[in-house]
Amino acid sequence: MTSRTLRQPRNSAKSVHSRIHAPEAKPISPVVFGLLLFVGTLVLYSPVRGHDFINYDDLDYVVNNSHVKSGLTWDTVRWSVTSREQANWHPVTWWSHAADYELFGPDAGSHHIVNVVIHAANALLLFLLLNWATGATGASFVVAAMFAWHPFNVESVAWIAERKNLLCTFCFLLTLAVYGWFARKPSAERLAAVCGIFVLALAAKPMAVTLPFVLLLLDYWPLRRVLGWTVDPADHSIPQRSVSQLLLEKIPLFLLTVGASWATVWAQSAGALRTTQAFPLSARLANALYSYVVYLAKTFWPFGFGLFYPHPGISVSLWKPAVAVVILLAISISAWIHRTKLPFLIVGWLLFLGVLFPMIGAVQVGDQAMADRYAYLSTIGLFIIAAWSGAKLLDELGVGKRVRFGLVTIVLALLCFLTSRQISYWENSVSIWSHTLEVTGANALAEKKLGFALVSQGNSEDAVIHFTNAVTLNPADVGSHLNLGAYYAAHDRLPDAMEEFRTAVRLTSDYRNLSAEDKQHRGSALIDLGFAYAIMKDYPQALADLRAAGQTDPALLERTEKAVSRALLNKPSEDVSLKSALLLNAEGHREEAISALRKTLDTNPEYSQVQESLQFLSSIQQ
C-alpha cells in the first residue's frame, strides 16, 4: 500500500470517537404523545363549555325528555331497555344522558364537556391500540391526532345528542383492545369478554354491527393472524390460524350483529325508515355511491361541513354516481394490487367502506343525503392510509426527522385551525343553522330550524322569512305552516293565519296513520284554528275544532288547557277567559266552563264576548 492509501483525514480519530460516543436522539416516549393528544383535544374543544343545546335532537334527547331528567334511576334503566324513542335502541346512551342530567341538570356546558372528554379518550385509545399493534409510534400518533383534531368530527363532539356516536366508538375501540388480548392466547373466557364489550357498543349505537368484519381485517394487518397469508416473523407473539378458524371464532359476534340489526329495524320502523316511494332504490344507490366520494373528499379537503344535507331524491345527476364508481373502483383495485407489500392500503380502504356502509343510505333512515357524524369512526381507515403511506413515501425520499416533524406540524395545525372555526358554528341553534344554509343552499329543514331558533330569541320578524322559505321549498312542511300562522295571528293578520292553520289540518287529514309529531302538529293547528274562530265569534266552529284536536291528541289539549288556566290566574283577560272556557268544554267539563265564565262576568260585566260565549255554552247539549 502507498502512503496515500494509509493517509487518514485530519482529526479522523476525533471524528470516529465522536460518532461512536455521541449520544443519539432518544425517541419520544408514547406517554408524551398520549398526553399531547389527550390534553390537546381538551384544549381545542374547550370553547364548547359556553355552548347551548341545539334545537335538533338535543331537546328530545335531554331538555324535554322526562325519563332522562329523572336521572339514572331503575325506572330510567328499565325504560331504556325497551324504548325505541328517537327511532333507536341505545340504552347505554340513555344511561349516559340520564347520569349527566342527575349530575349537571340543564347546564348545557357540562353536557358538552363530557362529550369532549369521551372524544379525547377515544383518540388516546386509538393511539394506544395502533402503537401496540404496529410499533410505529409516529404514524400511530398522526392517525389519532387527525382523528381527534379533524373538523369532520366536530359534529359528533359539539352536538350533545351525538353522545351515542362517542360512546359507541369508545366501546368499539375497547372491544378491539380486548380482542388483541384474546388473539395472543385465544380462550372462551377471553372471547366472552370481547362479546360483552361488543354488546355495550351495540347498545350505545347500532353502527357497531360492522365490528366482526373489522376484526377479520385486523387479522390480516396489523395482527397478521391469517395462516399462509402473511409471514409470521420469529418475534411475532400472536399465533396464526386458518381462515376457517378465524371465521368460526367470530360466530358469537356475528350472531350479536344479527340481533342488533333486528333491534335497529324494530326501533327505526317507528317512523324513521323511509319507503321506496319516497326514496326509490335507484335514487338511494346513486346517492350512496356519490356520498362515499364526498366523504372521501371532505376527509382530505376539510371544508363545507353542515348539520343537515338534503337528499337529492330522484333528481340526483347521473354523472355523479358514474364518476363515483370509477373513483371507488380505481382505489379498490390499486389497494388490492398492493395488498402484499402495502397491507395497510387494503385494510384502511375496506375499513372506511365497511364501517360506513350501514349509514350510507341503502336503507334510508331520515331525509338526509349524508351526515358528518357518520364519518366519525369510518375515516380512521383513511387516516391509517394517509399516515402509513406518507411515512413510506418519506422513507423512500430519504426525508429527515426535522422535515417530517415540520410537515406533520403544519398539517395538524391546519386541521386544528379549521376545527376551531367549525366548533364556533356550534355555539347555538342560530349559528349552526345559519352556517348550514351557507354551506348547503336550498335547505327546507335548515330554514325551519333557523326560524324556530330566531323565535326562541324573540326575533319573529327574521324568523318569518325563514318559515316562508321553508314552505316554498317544501309546501308539505306542516310545522312551518303552523309557525307562519302563529306569526300572522300575532300581527293581526287573522285571515292569513287561519289559511295557514287550515293548510296544516289538510296536510294531516289522515290523522289515524300519522306519526306522533304530525299528530301533535294537527292538534296544534286545530287548537289555533279554534281560537281564531272564537275571536271571530264563531263559537260552534271553534268548539268543533277544539274537540277535533282532543280526538287527535288528547294529551296536547289537556296541556294547552292547563297552560291557559295558569295564564288566567297570572294575568286575567277576556281573551284568556274565553279560551279557557272553550277548552274546558272541549274536554267535557261543560259545567265547570260555564261556572268559570259566570265568575268572570261577575268581576268584569263589560266582557261582551264572555257574555256571548256563556249564552252559547248554556244553550248547547253536552
Q: What is the CATH number of the domain that holds 571?
A: 1.25.40
Grid cell digits, residue 209: 354491527
Helix or strand run (H / E) with residue 369: strand 368-370
User: What are the two backbone dihedrals, phi and then psi, of residue 402, each rounded to the nearest 5 degrees?
Assistant: -65, -40
Q: Tell whether the model's pLDDT for residue 60 goes beyond 70.
A: yes
381 inside domain = yes
Indicate the pLDDT class of residue 361, thresholds 50, 70 and 90.
confident
Q: Tell whether the model's pLDDT for residue 234 goes beyond 60.
A: no
Residues 523, 556 contacting (CB under 8 angstroms): yes
Same domain for 102 and 227, yes or no, is: yes
pLDDT of residue 620: 77
Same domain for 270 and 126, yes or no, is: yes
Angle between helices 429-440 and 444-456 (to 10 degrees): 160
Domain end residue (candidates: 388, 404, 424): 424
Mean pLDDT for the stretch of residues 183-210: 96
pLDDT of residue 272: 53
pLDDT in tens, 201-214: 999 999 999 999 99
User: What are the two backbone dihedrals, phi and then psi, of residue 86, each rounded to the nearest 5 degrees?
Assistant: 65, 25
137 inside domain = yes
Same domain for 420 and 534, yes or no, is: no
Grid cell digits, residue 478: 306542516
Residues 270, 89 contacting (CB under 8 angstroms): no
pLDDT of residue 8: 40
Residue whose entry in the numeric block shows the C-alpha cell 287550515: 502
The CA-CA-CA angle for residues 430, 434, 437, to 5°, reads: 145
Indicate the pLDDT class of residue 610, thresholds 50, 70 and 90.
confident
CA distance 249 to 465: 59
Residue whose entry in the numeric block shows the C-alpha cell 274562530: 533
620 inside domain = yes
Residues 620, 594 contacting (CB under 8 angstroms): no
Indicate the pLDDT class of residue 622, thresholds 50, 70 and 90.
low
Three-state DSSP state, 226: strand
pLDDT of residue 233: 62
Domain span at residue 535?
510-517+529-622
Same domain for 418 and 553, yes or no, is: no
pLDDT of residue 117: 98
Same domain for 411 and 560, yes or no, is: no
CB under 8 A, 24+ apart: contacts of 25-32: 25/401, 27/137, 28/137, 30/127, 30/128, 30/131, 30/137
CA distance 135 to 125: 15
In the chain, DSSP finds a helix count (H) and a strand count (E) of 32, 2
Domain end residue (candidates: 383, 398, 424): 424
Average pLDDT of every residue of the chain? 90
pLDDT of residue 7: 38
**For residue 370, what are the β-bridge partners?**
309
Residues 302, 418 contacting (CB under 8 angstroms): yes
13 inside domain = no
15 inside domain = no
pLDDT of residue 284: 86
321 inside domain = yes
Report the predicted TM-score, pTM, of the whole model to 2 decimal places. Answer: 0.89
476 inside domain = no
Mean pLDDT for the stretch of residues 46-61: 96
Residues contacting residue 136 through CB under 8 Å, at least 6 positions apart:
130, 388, 391
Indicate the pLDDT class of residue 23, thresholds 50, 70 and 90.
very low
pLDDT in tens, 110-165: 999 999 999 999 999 999 999 999 999 999 999 999 999 999 999 999 999 999 99
| Total count of domains within the chain | 2
156 inside domain = yes
